[in-house]
Amino acid sequence: MSGEGQAGAVLGGLAESEQLEQRPQPTRERPRRGLGRWLLPTYVTIAFAFLMIPIVYTFVFSFNDSVKSNIAWRGFTFDKWLNVCNVEGGAVCQAFGNSIVIGLVATVLATTLGTMIAIALVRYRFRARSAISLLLFLPMATPEVVLGAGLAAQFLAVGVPKDMLTIILAHTMFCISFVVVTVKARVASLDPALEEAGRDLYGSPSQVFWRVTFPLLLPGILAAALLSFALSFDDFIITNFNSGSVSTFPKYIYISAARGIPAEANVIASAVFLFAMILVITVQVSRAAREKRLAKLS
Amino acid sequence: MAMREFAERGADLELVGIHKRFPGFTAIEELDLTIPAGSFFALLGPSGCGKTTTLRLVAGLDEPTNGRILIGGTDVTATRSHERPVNTVFQSYALFPHMTILENVAFGLRRRRIDDPAGKAHEALRLVELDHLAQRRPQQLSGGQQQRVALARAIVNRPALLLLDEPLGALDLKLRRQMQLELKAIQEEVGLTFLHVTHDQEEAMTMADTVAVMNKGRIEQMGAPEELYELPRTAFVANFLGQSNLFTGDVVGATDTAIAVDAAGSRIVVPTARAQRHSGQVTVGVRPEKVELHREQPVVEADRNLIGPGVVTDVSFSGVSTQYLVEIPGAGRVLVFAQNIGFGPAAAEGDRVWVSWAVEHGFGLEDTPDESRFQADASTSAIAAQHRDALVAELEEH
């Protein structure tokens, strides 16, 4: 899985789509000769192959007609794609579904709270403001193992049983930091005069927020939400400490790796990868279309 | 209190005993001001003098520490920004980048649920001749066009009072002149009360009916542009609004109609009616274009002040006029603007000259230049910057 990488690409697309100015064209270099002409392309090809081989392997083996272990190639079939949920009583799909639910709930919670914190940190001056700013970085800097074990100990001490709720709480906790950092940058670049203009033009505080502040922060908030979802969906370490008997997709893969991962897991991983790729390409294409439209207008 | 109706016409604005204190410094000190309905009023001053703060208080974007704000006789001090019949054209325009030009202009109308917002927005855009760009986004417009959209967005609401926060500051000179004329024309057409804040004295004088010169949080002098220029009352006004030649000395003689001041050996006469103080140490002055340059010692006339001889230390030719700097022993430097009626400069550097001006053109100030001369702009902005730093430092500590 490379959820974070994909999210990064989507975020990049979103961020770039905001910039309407033309980027400077790279200057044409003089033609390279001899070794230099081959070295860079070769290096790039090898690097790409290194990055792509696991993904291609996963994708190809999702079509393997495997019986128990999915290691040796036994022939091509669409069966695994068509009957994803029919193996082991649907354990793969169950885990995948849990991951999606946890990811969505944690994303909504973290994005809402994180956006509010980010606005407060940039717009208002209050006691312990810089201390809070610093403390919000801690979950990002702390090793996940420590964070996961610490949380598990706390849940045990308070007597909360480990289930979906504890996973959601844990994910919300570390996602908030990333949301705050992402949205804060967006709030800081927002001209306060725009909100003042909204107030001046008879907008009540809530109207100004929903019609001026929120739409202008939206690209940052969306980027933060995507990042949160990718982080939550991907997380294994913290989840493993705080999940009890609940299975998530990364946890399922980890456990089944011991006895051979079923091809159905490859199917889901490939599907997620394809979905992310389609998302990135859509964003890029729509951005290019918009730039062309703007160029025509001006 | 939602105002579903347009203001019938401009309303008068009254500021009573306004104080505005920020932690660490006072931005406005005891400000009393009345702006009659339908007038074009300019607040003129260097950066950091409190003029923008005044505007923000009227708009409701900041609250005064003390004092009351009345619009059309109604006390609005306690109301919030969106409840006031006031609109602002911001210095940065502050157009909403995520909306079309049309939606920007219709924003205020929609918030007040006024009938046919789109139609009225189109009408306002036609007034500023930008209706053909209604579907564009603000970032696709030039600076001058954005400025006109900002103006349309404010006047479409027919506020009782329109506030202009240096809206022409970002435009180039030619566009600025053009916009000044357009603004003035629009103000006369719609009959609103305009409160214009600027640091550009020429802009204030060409556009406004009444100009108030502000310095260090208080109004130094207020009046019609001609009055302020011809009869400044303080050294700050004399130097901020155009340039002045100032001489300080003791009053050595007084009649019913004039006082005579001895400025380091030169006797300078000023009409009593044009002087603020009539005894003791007094500063008198004259505008440089009223001063005449003589290459030979002229005959002393009763109705003219004559000082000299001095030496021309600098001549700068600017086409229409020539600016001479004359160093006169005792009296100091005298600036002379002379129209180029003949060909080229009449005197050269190093020439020995006399200067004279009609007694009726002189004026006497109520203070001396030592307090404010040569530190007008630098000091107030420096003080403001210093206060801002102190404020930031104070906030960071908590």
Query: Is the CB of B82 less than 8 angstroms away from the CB of A127?
Result: no
Q: Tell me, yes or no, whether B221 and B258 share the same domain.
A: no
- Answer whether residue B379 is part of any domain: no
Angular region, A77: left φ>0, alpha ψ -120 to 50, beta rest: beta
Q: What class has domain A91-261?
A: mainly alpha
Q: Are B310 and B394 in contact (CB under 8 A)?
A: no
Work out the percent of chain B whose per-residue pLDDT is above 70. 90
Instruction: Record the tokens describing residue A28, joined without a space.
Output: 């044409």
Q: Tell me, yes or no, whether B248 and B278 share the same domain.
A: yes
pLDDT in tens, B305-343: 988 789 999 998 888 888 999 998 878 889 999 888 877
- Answer whether residue B377 is part of any domain: no
Query: Is the CB of B61 less than 8 angstroms away from the CB of A216?
Result: no
- Answer whether residue B374 is part of any domain: no
Number of domains in chain B: 2
Tell me the ipTM for this assembly.
Answer: 0.77
pLDDT band per the 50, 70, 90 thresholds, residue B374: very low
Long-range pairs for A136-144: beta carbons < 8 A, 24 or more residues apart: A136/A176, A136/A177, A136/A180, A136/A181, A137/A177, A137/A181, A138/A177, A139/A173, A139/A174, A139/A176, A139/A177, A140/A174, A140/A177, A140/A178, A140/A181, A144/A235, A144/A237, A144/A238
What pLDDT shows up at residue B335?
Answer: 92
Q: What is the mean pLDDT of chain B?
A: 85
How many pairs of residues across A and B have Cβ atoms under 8 Å apart? Answer: 73
Span B13-32, average pLDDT: 88
Which residue, B35, B282, B258, is CA-closest to B163?
A: B35
Q: Tell me, yes or no, whether B220 and B341 share the same domain.
A: no
CATH number (domain holding residue B172): 3.40.50.300
**Cα gap B315→B293, rounded to integer Å:** 12
Cβ neighbours of A103 (radius 10 Å): 24
Res A13 pLDDT > 50: no
SS3 at position B379: helix
Q: How far is B111 from chain A (nearest CA, A)?
A: 6
User: What does each C-alpha distance from B27 to B19, B33, B130, B212, B218 come to in angstroms?
Assistant: 8, 16, 38, 16, 9
Span B251-270, average pLDDT: 86
Q: Tell me, yes or no, whether B288 and B147 share the same domain.
A: no
Which residue, A42, A92, A49, A56, is CA-closest to A277?
A: A56
Q: Tell me, yes or no, whether B104 and B184 share the same domain.
A: yes
Instruction: Record the tokens describing residue B325, joined without a space.
Output: 């700097």
Query: Is the CB of A215 less than 8 angstroms away from the CB of B82?
Result: no
pLDDT in tens, A206-259: 999 999 999 999 999 999 999 999 999 989 999 999 988 899 999 988 888 877
pLDDT in tens, A53-111: 999 998 998 888 887 777 788 888 888 888 878 777 778 888 999 999 999 999 999 99
Q: Tell me, yes or no, whether B209 and B240 share the same domain.
A: no
Q: Are B287 and B332 in contact (CB under 8 A)?
A: no
- Answer whether residue B5 is part of any domain: no
**Cα gap A271→A269, rounded to integer Å:** 5
- Answer whether residue B390 is part of any domain: no
Which of A201, A207, A222, A298 is most worth mutating to test chain B (most B CB atoms within 10 A of its CB)? A201
Quick check: A39 contacting B, CB < 8 Å? no
**Cα gap B47→B240, rounded to integer Å:** 12
Q: Tell me, yes or no, whether B148 and B164 share the same domain.
A: yes
B3 CB neighbours in chain A (<8 A) are: 202
Span A32-54, average pLDDT: 87
Task: Provide the H-helix boundaries in chain B.
Answer: 51-59, 101-111, 117-127, 143-155, 173-190, 201-207, 225-230, 235-240, 376-397
Least confident window among A171-175, B128-132, B147-151, B173-177: B173-177
Between A79 and B352, where is the model more confident? B352
Q: Tell me, yes or no, whether B219 and B247 share the same domain.
A: no
Query: Is the CB of B90 less than 8 angstroms away from the CB of A216?
Result: no
**Cα gap A276→A9, rounded to integer Å:** 9
- Answer whether residue B103 is part of any domain: yes
Q: Tell me, yes or no, whether B191 and B314 share the same domain.
A: no
Which residue of A lies nearest to B103 if distances are taken between CA atoms?
A211
- Give me the domain span that covers residue B26: 13-227
> b/e map of B32-61 (b: 16 or more CB within 10 Å)?
ebebebbbbbbbbbbebbbbbbbbbbbbbb
pLDDT band per the 50, 70, 90 thresholds, residue B65: very high
- Each domain of chain A, given as residue ranges in start order, spans 1-16+37-87+263-298, 91-261
Span B35-46, average pLDDT: 90
Q: Tell me, yes or no, whether B325 and B264 share the same domain.
A: yes
Q: Tell me, yes or no, whether B264 and B222 share the same domain.
A: no
Q: How far is A81 from chain B (nearest CA, A)?
A: 43
Q: Tell me, yes or no, whether B177 and B323 share the same domain.
A: no
Res A24 pLDDT > 80: no
**Percent of chain B that is helix, strand, coil (3-state, to 5):** 30, 35, 35
Which residue numbers of B have CB closer than 8 Å to A's CBs? 2-3, 59-61, 80-82, 86-88, 90-92, 94-98, 107-108, 111-112, 136, 139-140, 153, 157, 395-396, 398
Q: Cα dihedral sign for A10, A11, A15, A16?
A: negative
